[in-house]
Structure 1
Amino acid sequence: MSRDEHGRLLPGRISAPRPVPTTIPRPEYVGKAGPRDYDGDDRYDPAEIERIRTSGRIAAQALEAVAAAIRPGVTTDALDAIGHEFLITHDAYPSTLGYRGYRKSICTSINEVICHGIPDDTVLLEGDIVNIDITAFHDGMHGDLNATFAVGEISPETTDLVSHTREALARGIRAVAPGRSINVIGRAIESYAKRFGYGVVKDYTGHGVGSAFHSGLVIPHYDASPGFATVMEPGMVFTIEPMLTMGTPAHPGTTEWDEWADGWTVVTRDRSLTAQFEHTLVVTERGADILTLP
């Protein structure tokens, strides 16, 4: 049973981790309690950026393959199998698999799940929305993206939430420019979300990515002035991944959340719907170049 009598999600049964051929290199954290502290730079040279782009392209194509299978009656574990198989057949390691003990190759976050939903035997139903988050590790680099999809027909209000969250990401990306503080990204996202009365999740953010899955660089999706004054520079690589909710914000611009006992699944406290979109990008002299396109 993966839903209660009100249709709210419950933890399902999680299958065993899927095997990865030994010929595919693993990130350094696999088999360990966590990744080592990252002491590198968030800026990359042109050759390194192209390696991240290759990983991002594999992840984006894997996302397309998973999205093509989304329909009522499909389990999230079946979606994980598709994403896993696509990655390994393209000589990429699923970055989430073995990261701090995470057992699956993608994240599947349905309806009220903000992020980090674990694929299991939950069956997708008509009217659901599901976020698919995939990161590929290839040639020493991670490429990370996610998107939210409709399962069959969804309500007009839900359609609006999904389309507005996609646009919030686009506005965050358009705010990227060298010499600007990273805070302008969140300011652009939050000001747009407020037009529709959406909550913005503050505690889960974008991050530096590349040779490390998470470098330590934090990209807030809300106006965090006067903090987060890091200045964007050409060559910086990070994700932007806003999470918007339909629930009443507990405080202006934020939404309360709960974490399940599995230590991963994060849900809105009022169980309202939430959507998310993400890209990995590099700061250029003229703005941003998206690295996670198919």
Structure 2
Amino acid sequence: MLYKTEEEVALIGESAMLVSQTLASLAAIIKPGITTLELDEHANTFIRDHQASPSFYNFGGFPHHICTSVNDAVVHGFPNETPLKEGDIVSIDVGAYKNGYHGDQAYTFVIGEVSEEILRLVKATKESLAKGIEKAIHGNRIGDIGYAIQSHVEQHGFGVVRELVGHGLGKDLHETPPDIPNYGRQGQGKKLNENLVIAIEPMINLGTASVYTAADQWTILTADGKPSVHFEQDVCVKKGRPLILTDFSIIEQAEKSNGNLNSSYY
């Protein structure tokens, strides 16, 4: 596992904060009728205007700047020209590369009115991320993070995607080891030591945990066609208390200010 110096943690933090700012700027403009391709173009411009580059563009051949996963798309959705509509949920995953280091963050937005069931899914997934982050401290194990996430969402009857996991983060967008699954057993897995930087990202389905890959060879979809929710933050393992490098608060502020978005779940 790649442990970082304090200087490296600070540089990753700059990239992570830019990703949060990008998501906040997207939160301000999401509305029915806008296309995810327009969101992609907005994010690309915003990131480049801040002297950085989109991490995802051409990553493994990915042809866009951000991932936009709507409703039953779990992750890695392609931005397209289909307008978003009232009742959609959209996970937006953004990466930014600046000063030699990556930031990587995802947030699920709810457009207008949706069922109580979907609001519970969004709430539980976001809460599970916070519970997973709490366990990202020196001396714990990777299984402690996964157990905290899994145990929270499964009590609500939701499905934990097992094929996709969180990851290490730094000079590379995905640094492994470690993989950070969203399921696990307490006290199991690799030990967490100070200044390991990881991206924790629960991907939780309303129904079955099973997923499949779309014909585009990128988009991951739920097997039963029910919605999926994805949240992600970048975290540096520390003694006693994790250091969160991304910032949900500025995204939430923009979300609450946008009358087209539903933040009633928190």
Q: Common fold, TM-score beyond 0.5?
A: yes
Q: Does 1:220 align with 2:181?
A: yes
Residue 130 of structure 2 aligns to a residue whose secondary structure is: helix
How many residues are matched? 247
Q: How does 1:104-143 map to 2 (within 5 A)?
A: 104-143=64-103
Residue aligning to 1:155 = 115
Structure 1 residue 158, shift from structure 2 partner: 1.1
Residue aligning to 2:166 = 206
**Residue-by-residue CA offset, 1:127-149 (whole Å, 9 max, x unaligned):** 00000100100000001100000
Please give the TM-score of this superposition, normalised by the length of structure 2.
0.90
Kindly provide the amino acid, as one letter, of the partner of residue 223 in structure 1.
G
For the aligned residues, what is the CA RMSD?
1.2
Structure 1 residue 57, shift from structure 2 partner: 0.6
Residue among 268, 271, 288 paired with 2:222: 268
Structure 1 residue 154, shift from structure 2 partner: 1.8
Larger radius of gyration: 1
Q: How does 1:156-175 map to 2 (within 5 A)?
A: 156-175=116-135
Residue among 189, 194, 201 paired with 2:149: 189
**Residue-by-residue CA offset, 1:199-240 (whole Å, 9 max, x unaligned):** 00011000001111111120010025786x210000000110
Structure 1 residue 287, shift from structure 2 partner: 2.4
Residue 7 of structure 2 aligns to a residue whose secondary structure is: helix
Q: How does 1:42-53 map to 2 (within 5 A)?
A: 42-53=2-13
User: What is the distance in 1 between the residues matched to 2:166 and 2:206?
Assistant: 20
Residue aligning to 1:27 = none
Q: Which sections of structure 1, spanning at least 5 residues, go unmatched?
A: 1-40, 250-254
User: What is the distance in 2 between the residues matched to 1:187 and 1:113?
Assistant: 24
Residue aligning to 2:205 = 245
Residue 57 of structure 2 aligns to a residue whose secondary structure is: coil
Contact 2:141-2:186 at 8 Å conserved across structures: no
Contact 2:140-2:187 at 8 Å conserved across structures: no
Q: Does 1:292 align with 2:246?
A: yes
Residue aligning to 2:136 = 176
Q: Does 1:70 align with 2:30?
A: yes
Residue 242 of structure 2 aligns to a residue whose secondary structure is: strand
State the identity %: 38
Structure 1 residue 164, shift from structure 2 partner: 1.0
Contact 2:141-2:187 at 8 Å conserved across structures: no
Greater share of helix: 2
Please give the TM-score of this superposition, normalised by the length of structure 1.
0.82
Structure 1 stretches of 4+ with a deviation exceeding 4 A read 224-227
Residue 237 of structure 2 aligns to a residue whose secondary structure is: strand
